[in-house]
Chains A and B, each alone.
Chain A
């Protein structure tokens, strides 16, 4: 009798698969990071309040548990001396030092993407990410973009998906039903054009290269996909949960 793959593994494979088919290479990096890669390299100086947005697990030896897989972007490019054109997709475990409840976890997964080329624009970024959301939730899904601030991108944005108030997963609704549905917008992806400071920190000339970057919380998308009501279940080890997948 077969066992079960964790739903996050399944969802990661589905998500990575989309990007792999578009020329992206999967890479991974450490969970225990340096302050520089997690913050400074990404244009998040200690002197600016943008540093406070994320509650961080610091370790006594002065390192930290990465608060986002974006930390790994610059590390991989620098350590492997990668040069554009670049297309990287980076899945991994991230951490925030906060109390947990049904919708908050101190442990979660992110997928970060970064592509650097001479002519990559916001239009490419939007097209790529819309394509991803449609592949997961169906072509009828309602999407909107909002400007948002992430210190490592400029311009920056969030992508929201319309989540109807029904028991059905979004992918099971027809377009007219979705259009009429009551519900709410939920942020699913943060993204933007790589900030010149970040490109410089990656050892690249910002006058020559343009980069698109995005990061997404895998747990919430997976929960949306399967209609799961508690973010903590993934890490509970409860076989009643795991064996359903």
Chain B
């Protein structure tokens, strides 16, 4: 919600700088997403959480700041600003059930004149994000932003007169009924939507958007200004059904102050009288059909302290609650003095239990002033076998040269069909944002092949994933391993290694080579050998498996990835046998920032290099962040690398492996 600081100052004498105010609001739980200077004003963008409908207004935020900063709230005394008279323009308000409209406050205003609204009103509406329309519409919007109470103005003369009175019948729509809303759309209503009608037509989609047939237009002379309280759940249902969220429906869903209607209608009246010099205000109409009373919440300060871990005194707690306009007190109940708090009417929706009071007390005290309690370390419990097992297998695979990938849990129709995995048991997403997220993967095979396809430049790929698959009602884990070199036999060996390490007799697995025609459909130009294991069966066999994986992270200076393809060059060097490969790799990487990765792929000790020598071969991944690299540049980098290694490690280039 956009909030103008100058507007806020109508209600509070704020001395703080805008930046300080941002902090105060954040620490109250009203997150400020941005702050922008606009002329002599600052516009804050606030994220108001869904429980705090009362804060969707200038007044609401002013109340919060008044509590936090101990400032007096300057609400306007409105009754004295204008006088009302008998216009002899009566309304007949009928409500089919008190549950749909809890309160209906309205006033007829006669002899109005449609014109643009004042510049200040227009400016403030724009700062909130509204387009100015005319004085009447603008004022209803303006007052909604200021007070949080949605208002609506009807053209009095467009409503049918029945037995001498304008008929406003509020009821719930029957399925199939329609209304054309102010935006010109013909809305097919859900059963239960709240509408206002006369005997001839539905003319309002109450609490969401007005009807076109009762709209204020250039010729409007008389209006009905309405500020009502509608049932939040019914508004929400209709808003969802029609996929129509308005500033009014947004507030109604979150709860509008049942005691705020009169202030809002009066405030709007005074603005309208100010804008239309001839206008005459009728008497206030105010009907309460159903009262929502705030809960009297009994609490025990000891419980609150036990929950918060604090030692706040009852006096302090009551003071914090009073700042927030809670009524506090105590009474005798069954011979015990019980303390209670009653939230103000605008908090009736979200403060209901003593734990809610605890939060209010903590908010005013300040969360950052709460006590902290250290957690002593204690002897670790053994890991549950499923997690321990997956981490253990990951460590075995990494030690065997495989790199772990995380891929999406989704797949698309084409891939599933190519791989023969498509069936009526595949779980389908209801409203996918793209074809790629339409199905949940029934197998990790498509995931791994997609990952291989993304690395066409890699010389050899050895990857694995442990992840969940979905088929029918079943969710199960697989371990899958893929490599682009070697053989099926090599993968069988890997299964044997895993079996030996885990000391299990049986593993449910499959090893196969992916057929060429499938690979070409997935744009993979390498052989792919594939190993798939059922994880859940392993867990069942090893339900007492214990393992503590290492928790130390690698020290990595991460280098961002270019959007241009890398080139992988291989170099082999003859160096002294005592030289550590990682030292050479580090040196190569530091030669040029176009070197993204250096991987040792061969370490070969042979007397043919000399009795104290060995050969080390590296994959060197080269790329530039801004453009594709050309061969000439790469040559230069490779030469530089050779020079550096020769100087530092006495390394001799054995050759480039092309």
Contacts and interface: CB of A to CB of B under 8 A. Distances in A.
A21 B376 CA distance: 9
B375 A4 contact: no
Interface of A: 1-11, 13-14, 16-17, 20-28, 30-32, 47-50, 52-53, 57-61, 63, 65, 93, 95, 97-99, 106-107, 119, 121-124, 126-128, 130-131, 144-149, 151, 154-157, 185, 193, 195-196, 210, 225-230, 233-245
Q: In the complex, which of the residues A48, A52, A122 has the most CB atoms of chain B within 10 Å of its own CB atom?
A: A122
A1 B507 CA distance: 26
B50 A48 contact: yes
Interface in B51-73: 51-52
A53 B50 contact: yes
Given A20-B381, A31-B468, A65-B440, 19 more contacts: A1-B401, A1-B599, A3-B462, A16-B551, A20-B383, A32-B440, A53-B50, A59-B428, A121-B308, A123-B308, A126-B370, A144-B368, A149-B51, A155-B362, A185-B26, A230-B560, A244-B597, A245-B554, A245-B556
A176 to B, nearest CB: 21
A193 B109 CA distance: 51
Contacts of A148: 29, 31, 49
A123 B394 CA distance: 37
Contacts of B356: 154
A94 B597 CA distance: 31
Contacts of A234: 406
B358 interface: yes
Given A32-B440, A239-B455, A122 B308 contact: yes
Contacts of B399: 2-3
Interface stretch (B148-156, B384-392, B488-496): B384-392
Interface in B303-322: 306-310
Contacts of B450: 237
A147 B600 contact: no
A124 B553 contact: no
Contact of B373 (A5, A93, A123, A245): A123
Contacts of B386: 28
A3 B553 contact: no
A97 B553 contact: no
Contacts of A245: 554, 556
A25 to B, nearest CB: 5
Interface residues of B, number: 102
Given A97-B431, A240-B596, A210 B307 contact: yes
A106 B429 CA distance: 13
Interface in B428-455: 428-433, 437, 440, 450-452, 454-455
Contacts of B380: 20-21, 23
11 contacts: A2-B401, A5-B395, A28-B384, A31-B475, A58-B430, A59-B429, A145-B370, A155-B358, A157-B367, A233-B561, A240-B623
